[in-house]
Amino acid sequence: MFPGLDDQTLTGGVLFYDGQMYSPVRLALAFLKSALQIGAYAANYMEVTGFLRDGRRVTGVGVVDRMTGARFDVRARVVLNAAGAWSVRLLDQALGVQLAPLPSFSRDACFVVHRPLGGRPALAVTGKTKDPDAILSRGDRHLFVVPWRDHTLVGVWHVVHRGDPDTAVVTMAEVQAFIDEINESYPGLALHLEDVSLCQAGLVLFGENSEAATDLRYGKRSLIVDHAGEHDVQGLLTVIGVRYTTARSVAVRAIDQVLTKLGRPVPPSTTGFTPVYGGGIERFADLLARALGERHPALTDNTLRALVRNHGAAYTEVLGYLDENPAWAESIGSSATIKAEIIHAVRGEMAQKLSDVVFRRTDLGSGNRPDPRSLQACADLMASELGWDETRTQKELEEVQSLYPAWVRPDGTEAHV
Ligand SMILES: Cc1cc2nc3c(=O)[nH]c(=O)nc-3n(C[C@H](O)[C@H](O)[C@H](O)COP(=O)(O)OP(=O)(O)OC[C@H]3O[C@@H](n4cnc5c(N)ncnc54)[C@H](O)[C@@H]3O)c2cc1C
């Protein structure tokens, strides 16, 4: 299957099967939309800056609108703190509460290679090098080289991250080390820095590890903390999830605890058989065939396919905008993203910034870096929807460009990633 592997060093192999998300960001949105459907409220760019208190009871949160600077309070009988790696800082700074033991986080990182694996399945190789700067590092890690759309996804590297979650970044030297590691295990891939179009990183809960541990315990169990028991603070729960794949069961446990705190009955959860928004699909192939059969004349098969994959059964909502303006059927540059998706992101999905649309609503930024003309077309559409002037539009464009690091090689030339 992989003639590029160094067969002199191979000792064996195993074939196994796994599932893959088409779009993690669209799946996260689908969860959010499901919640909105049954009565939740969601707000974008609202940062919790503190907790409202009545003695030892939390009675809500103080919020700042990051877009306008406006501050306001949200009152609640129970607060569920689900701010990921930031939860710990929030508890400490806003409430003076420290979790014990203090959870550790891994900066997980992977990167996208803008060429396919050539129709091959995924490959798992054993990582060979250790990061000398890592506080903790472990040999024998499995690294995956996985086909993902027209690209290849490579990773995941784990490094324990301590301190401010906002400082978790991946440096060019690290990416070069990742590439060297993969090339050593799979010489046939012959990766170079220029092949990397995007690097993804985030903070994920780790297992309990001591500073000196060499065999890292990866986070297997999510954390749900009732601060009434542990810190004598009523009305507050913290949940830090460890995996996307286990998120629903963790949510069930957390929500059951919220209901108990509210003194409400705890009915059996329906999450196990409730499809997410747009996920009420019997057979995906049938949905796709139907969409292609009923095709809007201005859409190509390629754009329709991408639309159905990203929005599921809710793809018709995006098509609805074409009644208002048929020109929104045009795709942005050479991408499969149509203009109606930008309009939908702004009107139906609270996109406030160009980076929201490029990275967190559409496919524009998920594989290759979009070219400047595509970004401009996208920014112009958002400007007309949101009333941006030229200065704001330019600022948004510059911000998106700055999120793609322009790595400079030691010889001074720039690596466009
Ligand atoms: C490279 C990588 C690969 C991964 N691969 C997999 C995989 O294959 N399978 C799998 O199951 N999982 C995987 N994961 C893990 C998965 O992504 C996480 O478990 C999941 O994202 C955790 O979700 P969360 O909502 O709990 O936390 P987060 O995704 O961290 O979200 C926390 C949110 O809270 C917001 N926030 C922070 N502070 C505040 C505040 N004060 N006010 C308001 N909002 C705030 C943040 O902006 C953020 O949006 C991977 C993670 C990474 C980084």
Within 10 angstroms of residue 1's Cβ, the number of other Cβ atoms is 8
Verify whether ligand 1 is closer than 6 Å to residue 244 (CB atom): yes
Strand segments, DSSP code E, in 98-249 are: 105-113, 123-126, 142-148, 151-161, 196-205, 223-226, 236-240
Q: Which amino acid is at 73?
A: D
Verify whether ligand 1 is closer than 6 Å to residue 108 (CB atom): yes
Tell how far the Cα of 293 is from the centroid of ligand 1, in angstroms.
37
| 123-126: strand order across its sheet | 123-126, 142-148, 151-161, 105-113, 196-205
Q: For residue 163, what pLDDT is reported?
A: 82
Tell how far the Cα of 153 is from the centroid of ligand 1, in angstroms.
18
DSSP states along 215-264: S-----S-EEEEHHHHHS-BTEEEEE---STTHHHHHHHHHHHHHHHHT-
Q: Which tokens sit at 187? A: 């010489």
Within 10 angstroms of residue 61's Cβ, the number of other Cβ atoms is 22
Q: What helix, strand, coil percent values describe the chain, rounded to 5?
A: 35, 20, 40
Verify whether ligand 1 is closer than 6 Å to residue 45 (CB atom): no
Within 10 angstroms of residue 375's Cβ, the number of other Cβ atoms is 22
Tens digit of each residue's pLDDT, the chain (417 residues): 888 887 787 887 888 888 889 999 999 999 999 999 999 999 999 999 999 999 999 999 999 999 999 999 999 999 999 999 999 999 999 999 999 888 889 899 999 998 887 777 888 877 654 544 454 444 556 889 999 988 999 999 888 888 889 988 888 888 888 899 899 888 888 998 888 888 888 999 986 655 444 444 555 688 999 999 989 999 999 999 988 989 999 999 999 999 999 999 999 999 999 999 999 999 999 999 999 998 788 899 999 999 999 999 999 999 999 999 999 999 999 999 999 999 999 999 999 999 999 999 999 998 878 899 999 999 999 999 999 999 999 999 999 988 776 654 445 555 544
- Residue owning the nearest CA to atom 36 of ligand 1: 83
What's the number of CA atoms in the CB half-sphere (13 Å) around residue 197?
Answer: 17
Cα distances (angstroms) measured from residue 393 to each of 61, 225, 360, 364: 32, 43, 18, 17
Q: Which CATH class is domain 105-205?
A: alpha beta
Verify whether ligand 1 is closer than 6 Å to residue 48 (CB atom): yes
Tell how far the Cα of 85 is from the centroid of ligand 1, in angstroms.
8
Q: For residue 207, what pLDDT is reported?
A: 66
Q: Which CATH class is domain 284-402?
A: mainly alpha
Verify whether ligand 1 is closer than 6 Å to residue 380 (CB atom): no
**Nearest CA-CA partner of 284 in 315, 256, 260, 261:** 315
Best of 86, 169, 199 for a ligand 1 pocket test (most atoms within 8 Å of beta carbon): 86
Tell how far the Cα of 360 is from the centroid of ligand 1, in angstroms.
13
Whole-angstrom Cα distance, residue 285 to residue 310? 14
Architecture of domain 25-102+221-262: 3-Layer(bba) Sandwich (3.50)
Verify whether ligand 1 is closer than 6 Å to residue 110 (CB atom): yes
Tell which atom from ligand 1 comes closest to the C-alpha of 49.
Answer: 41
Residue position matching structure tokens 């088409």: 22
Q: Which amino acid is at 174?
A: E
Residue position matching structure tokens 């603070």: 233
**Nearest CA-CA partner of 176 in 129, 136, 116:** 129
Name all contacts of 265-271 with Cβ < 8 Å and 24+ positions apart: none
Torsion of CA 63, 69, 72, 77, to 10 degrees: -10
Q: Which tokens sit at 233? A: 């603070």
Verify whether ligand 1 is closer than 6 Å to residue 175 (CB atom): no
What are the sequence ranges of the domains in the chain? 25-102+221-262, 105-205, 284-402
Tell how far the Cα of 203 is from the centroid of ligand 1, in angstroms.
7
- Residue owning the nearest CA to atom 28 of ligand 1: 84
- The answer to whether 160 and 134 have CB atoms below 8 angstroms apart is yes
DSSP states along 260-328: HHHT---PPP-GGGPPPTT---S-HHHHHHHHHHT--TT--HHHHHHHHHHHGGGHHHHHHHHHH-GGG
Q: Which amino acid is at 91?
A: L
